[in-house]
Amino acid sequence: MSEPQWLSEEERELWMKLVRLSMLMPSAVEAQLKREAGMNQFEYLVLAMLSEVPDMTRLMSDLAFQTNASLSRLSHVVTRLEQQGWVRRSACPTDGRATNVILTDVGYEKLKDTAPGHVTAVRNIIFDPLTPELVSTLNRSLQPILDSVEKNR
Amino acid sequence: MSEPQWLSEEERELWMKLVRLSMLMPSAVEAQLKREAGMNQFEYLVLAMLSEVPDMTRLMSDLAFQTNASLSRLSHVVTRLEQQGWVRRSACPTDGRATNVILTDVGYEKLKDTAPGHVTAVRNIIFDPLTPELVSTLNRSLQPILDSVEKNR
DNA sequence: CGGGTATAGTTTAAAGTTCAAGCATTAAGG
DNA sequence: CCTTAATGCTTGAACTTTAAACTATACCCG
């Protein structure tokens, strides 16, 4: 175990910011979702992904990949969403092993009711303090980190 | 519930990146910590914060605030760390309600053994794909988001 | 003082996540 | 074909986090 190359002062600073950001940002946003819709960000994300395709249907494995969750975690969450009546499972016709998750009408309504408050919270917390220039700067400069992090999974 | 101001294309894009980043970055780094040191990032953070003060001692509430954890969560985690022999509790002499957490010698050794691999992982994942300019750009442009997120907690 | 309230922390139970195992079904190789 | 391996998903137990109730000390103000 040889000495690593330690971080420079600026790198250390950025690292701390990234850590704080990834701890604080989700909880800031989740607070609102929890309060107003009784759901967490992960559940919202699942509903949102379903609503984005025309038939409101996705494979478990597809959802799991998109949301970066284990199939096991997703399965438990879908069970909960199913109990709420927001989603239902159905066997995939073309692959006997696979199961589709389908957004129900109730789930769609729920999402439609939830989205505005959620967006408002995101706007208040993230974008109000940002200039348009900063938005595009961040879009560009975060990309390398994101690529690297996606490669490493 | 009136229509909110929806996000622009660029804002939406950035929001997705931030969400993905805060989901993927912790798990990328934690994978290494888990594998090589059997600890998660939160536990590492607690040990690291303790090691940063001369007497290796901090109040529970202080640690909880710094790490953005609930006192309850911290209490559970400290119990686990205590069972590993890495920290110990001791009553605060000046305030009967408070308890100090102290990094043990064993804990300090553990941290010293763990740090190099951790830093290497952080460097590989985060900083290798970043130019020095990007590091300082990010340092500057993330600050407003961070400020806002810290205010909102 | 003395009573009310705030602070610091622990504990319990419920909720959520992860881990390991298991069960079908499909794909691959001889 | 038939066996073996891989894939897709579910389940139950172990573990972690959260929420709520509880204990104990400190502070404040009449």
The tens digit of pLDDT for each residue in A71-91 reads 999 999 999 999 999 999 999
Tell if the CB–CB gap between A144 and B129 is shorter than 8 Å. yes
pLDDT digits (tens, 9 = 90+) for B117-136: 999 999 999 999 999 999 99
Residue A47 CA to residue A38 CA, distance in Å, equals: 13
Report which of A3, A25, A50 is spatially closest to residue A138, judged by C-alpha positions: A25
CB-based contact B146 A24, cutoff 8 Å: yes
Contact yes or no for A125/B148 (Cβ under 8 A):
yes
8-state DSSP, A2: P
Q: Rounded to whole angstroms, how far apart are CA atoms B22 and B29?
A: 12
What average pLDDT does range A5-18 have in this prediction? 95
The predicted model gives B94-101 an average pLDDT of 97
Tell me the domains of chain A and their CATH numbers. 12-151 (1.10.10.10)
Strand arrangement, sheet containing B99-103:
B57-59, B99-103, B87-91
Decide if pLDDT at A35 tops 60. Answer: yes
Q: Which residue is nearest to nucleotide D23 (CA to C1')?
A: B97
- When scoring B18, B70, B124 by the number of chain A Cβ atoms within 10 A, the one with the most, hence best to mutate, is B18
Cβ of A31 near strand D (distance < 7 A): no
CA distance B115 to chain A (A): 9
Provide the positions of strand C that have an atom within 7 A of a protein CB: 7-12, 16-21, 24-27
> How far A116 CA lies from chain B's nearest CA (Å)?
5
Residue type, B68: N
Q: What is the mean pLDDT of chain A?
A: 95
Which of B11, B116, B152 minimises the CB distance to A3? Answer: B116
CB A59 within 8 A of CB A98: yes
Taking the model in full, what pTM does it have?
0.92
